[in-house]
């Protein structure tokens, strides 16, 4: 006997269609698939999109392919519709999956404008002629005001993290105490961990290939993040953070979105955890230059070469924002093992590089 399908799905000529009403809004559309499990996932996504739009005013994300399809369906009477269809078909492999956001479109237009301007003004052939007679005027789309960062309070952090699945709570706890970007956390490898014998601690050095500013990223650990690391040590031979034996592709997944919705905090984004880290460092009196290092900001220096006293200073700085310092609990049932920061160190120089950390004498 076959598995019972979800209410709202109807099979028509082998393709599953959605026929359902959600919060007063009817949905009548094809899922485009004959696979029931895939159709149910599409149905669940559409229900969630409508709920987010109705309850929280969150605009659904749509792709260029969806926009192109609607344009063709709405303009079948045009004499040139065949030409439009051909052009859109040629574009689809390249931009079909991209979201139709002003920011995304503008990023592409900036590159196109740059190439055309170079072709019209700088690049010349063997006859001294520019590649293009004149570059067309390309105007960028108006963009909505950039969303302001939303640093979390300690109460908001506790509330949100308690609602998260355990594996996401650990990742977010690591992120809010290191200022790492989402993919730096998701792709964190054990081979990037290096011991610093002089301080009896370890740090992570994230290679520049996955760092946004293309500089090696030094990540120092406070008492909370050291506890997080120890709680997952041995779970996987390669990746630090995993779920059911596999690396987590994104923190901003269904578990994160559900938890955010459950605690009525739809305004919080994953990147706000980095803003929270930076705001807490500043509130704790950490200097601007030290904050730049800890946040991984590009500053034109080799930021992974530090003496032992400098590393100790960085560790002391991140320990200023631990719950012990603020009188706040971390997350009940999560990583809350107290750790002591090393306050003394040798005068040797610690070379922190992609090949490892080695003590050298000066």
Sign, Cα dihedral of 268, 273, 274, 279: positive
For 311-350, how does the pLDDT look when each residue is reduced to its tens digit (9 = 90+)?
A: 999 999 999 998 765 544 444 333 333 332 222 222 233 3
pLDDT of 337 reads 34
pLDDT of 286 reads 95
Q: Is residue 77 domain-resident?
A: no
Distance from C-alpha of 346 to C-alpha of 199, rounded to nearest angstrom: 8
Q: Is residue 294 domain-resident?
A: yes
Q: Is residue 351 domain-resident?
A: yes
Domain of 346?
Answer: 160-360
Q: Is residue 91 domain-resident?
A: no
CB atoms within 10 A of CB 272: 21
Region 185-198 average pLDDT: 93
Distance from C-alpha of 120 to C-alpha of 131, rounded to nearest angstrom: 6
Number of domains composing the chain: 2
- As to burial, measured by CB atoms within 10 angstroms (0-12 exposed, 13-18 middle, 19+ buried), residue 86 is exposed
Q: What percent of the chain has pLDDT over 90?
A: 48
Same domain, 36 and 175: no
Residue 61 CA, distance from chain mean position: 16
Q: Is residue 236 domain-resident?
A: yes
Of residues 151, 147, 221, 148, the one with CA closest to residue 185: 221
pLDDT of 351 reads 33
For 7-49, how does the pLDDT look when each residue is reduced to its tens digit (9 = 90+)?
A: 889 998 999 999 998 888 888 888 888 888 888 888 888 888 8
- DSSP bridge partners of 108: none
Same domain, 169 and 301: yes
- Among the candidates 18, 37, 56, a domain finishes at 56
Task: Output the domain CATH number for residue 330.
Answer: 1.10.443
Examine the pLDDT at 57 and tell me if it is beyond 80.
no
Q: Is residue 144 domain-resident?
A: no
- The helix/strand/coil state of 351 is strand
Q: Judge contact between 308 and 349, C-beta under 8 A.
A: yes
Whether this prediction's pTM lies above 0.75 is answered by: no
Q: Is residue 90 domain-resident?
A: no
Same domain, 164 and 52: no
For 236-284, how does the pLDDT look when each residue is reduced to its tens digit (9 = 90+)?
A: 999 999 999 999 999 999 999 999 999 999 999 999 999 999 999 999 9
For the chain, the average pLDDT equals: 83
For 145-179, how does the pLDDT look when each residue is reduced to its tens digit (9 = 90+)?
A: 667 899 999 999 999 999 999 999 999 999 999 99
Same domain, 186 and 329: yes
Distance from C-alpha of 339 to C-alpha of 316, rounded to nearest angstrom: 12
- The helix/strand/coil state of 310 is helix
Same domain, 48 and 176: no
Confidence of residue 56 (pLDDT cuts 50, 70, 90): low
Q: Is residue 152 domain-resident?
A: no
Distance from C-alpha of 227 to C-alpha of 31, rounded to nearest angstrom: 45
């Amino acid at each position: 006997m076959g598995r019972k399908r979800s209410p709202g799905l109807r099979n028509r000529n082998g393709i599953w269609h959605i026929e359902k009403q959600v919060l007063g809004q009817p949905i009548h559309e094809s899922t485009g698939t004959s696979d029931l499990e895939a159709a149910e996932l599409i149905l669940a996504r559409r229900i969630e999109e409508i709920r987010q739009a109705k309850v929280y005013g969150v605009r659904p994300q749509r792709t260029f392919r969806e926009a192109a399809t609607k344009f063709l369906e709405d303009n079948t009477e045009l004499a040139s519709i065949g030409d439009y269809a051909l052009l859109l078909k040629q574009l689809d492999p390249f931009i079909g999956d991209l979201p139709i956001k002003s920011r995304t479109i503008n990023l592409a237009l900036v590159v196109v404008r740059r190439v055309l301007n170079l072709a019209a003004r700088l690049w010349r052939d063997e006859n001294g002629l520019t590649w293009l007679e004149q570059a067309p005027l390309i105007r960028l789309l108006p963009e909505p005001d950039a969303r302001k960062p939303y640093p979390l309070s300690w109460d908001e952090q506790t509330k949100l993290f308690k609602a998260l699945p355990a594996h996401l709570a650990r990742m977010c706890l690591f992120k809010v105490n290191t200022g790492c970007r989402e993919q730096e956390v998701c792709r964190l490898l054990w081979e990037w961990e290096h011991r610093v014998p002089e301080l009896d601690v370890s740090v992570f050095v994230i290679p520049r290939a996955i760092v946004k500013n293309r500089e090696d990223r030094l990540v120092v650990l406070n008492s909370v993040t050291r506890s997080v690391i120890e709680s997952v040590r041995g779970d996987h031979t390669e990746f630090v953070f995993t779920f059911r034996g596999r690396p987590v592709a994104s923190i901003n997944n269904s578990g994160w979105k559900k938890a955010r919705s459950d605690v009525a905090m739809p305004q919080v984004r994953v990147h706000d955890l980095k803003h929270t880290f930076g705001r807490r460092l500043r509130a704790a009196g950490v200097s601007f230059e030290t904050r730049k290092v800890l946040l991984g900001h590009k500053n034109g220096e080799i930021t992974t070469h530090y003496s032992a006293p400098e590393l100790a200073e960085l560790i002391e700085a991140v320990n200023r924002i631990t719950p012990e310092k603020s009188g706040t609990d971390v997350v009940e049932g999560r990583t809350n093992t107290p750790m002591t920061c090393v306050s003394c160190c040798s005068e040797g120089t610690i070379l922190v590089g992609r090949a490892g950390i080695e003590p050298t004498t000066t």
